[in-house]
Amino acid sequence: MRELYELRGSSPEVLFSPYCWRVRLALAHKGLDFVSRSVRFTDKEALAFSGQTLVPVLRDGETTLHDSLAIFRYLDERYPQPALLGGALGESRLRLIDLLIGQDLRPALVRLLLPRVLASIDPSDRDYFRQSREKSLGMSLEAFADRDAGQTQLARALQPLDAMLKGQPWLDGAEPAGADYLIGGFFFWAWTLGEQPWAGDSPSGDWFRRLLAFCEARQGAVRRATND
């Protein structure tokens, strides 16, 4: 049996963690079924078997893994085709891309999505979430969650993606692969929380719709948080 431990909020159907989405998309890529085990941020004991406290965790038979890129590597070793990483060179470049998009794309979406994350997580997780994130941000969530700054930073972050997607349908070329899921996880984060802060009629907007259709064809309808 294959199990994916992923983050749940107050509604068990709305799955919004970007790192868990990377793994969901990677499992869709490989055509692998799985059972979803959703856990709250503070359900640390539910993940004790993995030797650490963070989702996503993939349990595949006797193998237990955490960290989205480590899971990509395992999936490529155990189920080689179609490839996610493209070998050591491809994996290294994906790690560099992850670091580069950590400068604008991720913080821009944090700025835009924080109020929705707070509204969507389980009430029992709120104190943990606020304390851990305020510690890493070095300021209050309210001070960081600036929509204007977030939109400006997101517009900048989308420029290289739009430039790339003008010339090819997927970030990884003619077919989707690891880079599409690595970056796509952030788009699913916004989408599932009820946001769509990118332009619908842009290359990255078109790409996200293709990625959503790819995922829904394999794993069923993606549930979104309702906007109040």
Q: What are phi and psi of 148, to 5 degrees?
A: -65, -45
Q: Rule CB under 8 A: is residue 222 a binding residue for a second copy?
A: no
CA pair distance 171, 184, nearest whole angstrom:
10
Query: Which whole-number Å values give the CA distances from 13 to 2, 80, 186, 221, 224, in the listed order?
Result: 19, 30, 18, 11, 8
∠ CA 216-119-126, rounded to 5°: 115
Q: Rule CB under 8 A: is residue 155 a binding residue for a second copy?
A: no
Mark the segment that binds a second copy (CB under 8 A) among 3-11, 54-62, 164-172, 188-196: 164-172
Smallest separation (angstroms) from a second copy to the CB of 98: 9
Tokens of 157: 């972050």
Mark the segment that binds a second copy (CB under 8 A) among 12-20, 92-100, 118-126, 212-220: 92-100
Pick the closer one to a second copy by CB: 1 or 99: 99
Tokens of 182: 């690595």
Q: Rule CB under 8 A: is residue 173 a binding residue for a second copy?
A: yes
Binding residues with a second copy: total (CB under 8 A): 31
Pick the closer one to a second copy by CB: 12 or 173: 173
Pick the closer one to a second copy by CB: 44 or 166: 166
Interface residue with a second copy among 11, 52, 63, 103 (CB under 8 A) is 103
Cβ neighbours of residue 175 under 8 Å, at least 6 residues apart? 82
Given the structure tokens 């993995």, which residue do they identify? 50
Cβ atoms within 10 A of the Cβ of 10, count?
15
Pick the closer one to a second copy by CB: 102 or 200: 102
Residues engaged in binding a second copy (CB under 8 A): 83, 86-90, 92-97, 99-104, 156, 159-160, 163-164, 168, 171-174, 177-179
